[in-house]
Amino acid sequence: MTDTKPAVLFLCTHNAGRSQMAMGFFKHLAGDRAIVYSGGSEPASDVNSAATAAMNEKGIDIAGERPRRWTMDDVDAVHVVVTMGCGDECPYIPGKRYENWELADPAGQSVDAVRPIRDDIEHRVRGLLAALGIHVDSHTTAD
């Protein structure tokens, strides 16, 4: 685990929607002031196209990301693990900081249905960054 920068791991089942959007916002807003990973318990073959389109509306391109299975190395490398609907499939290590974000699954949803999920994720990522001591100017938008 790095001592100089906070590190976060976003986990969901398929690593194709929620966790990819969260990682996209985190990278965009934190820049090089933090480290971020994402993974899934049952990775999909591609990132959700509606999630990609919704993030493009915010000026964040996640189309180049690839869903991947999380590893224990990922968990060991971070300060915070954020789970999003992977239940018992998500790893748990005593002493590690965990947050569970209850979010609708964007799988199979239209872009219109994904937008409120995306906006909720952005709000939560901003709160997490603040809790980690990473100041994000309120004028910094993902638009």
Domains and CATH numbers, the chain: 7-131 (3.40.50.2300)
Residue 86 confidence (pLDDT): 75
Q: Is 12 a catalytic residue?
A: yes
Residue with tokens 């709000």: 123
- pLDDT (tens digit per residue) in 64-105: 999 999 999 999 999 999 999 877 777 777 788 999 999 999
Question: What distance in Å separates the CA atoms of residue 54 and residue 139, rounded to the nearest whole number?
Answer: 20
Q: Which residues of the chain have pLDDT under 70?
A: 1-3, 139-143
Q: Is 86 a catalytic residue?
A: yes
Active-site entry in 8, 9, 11, 12:
12
Distances (CA, A) of 136 to 2, 15, 28, 132, 143: 21, 25, 10, 11, 14
Residue 90 confidence (pLDDT): 76
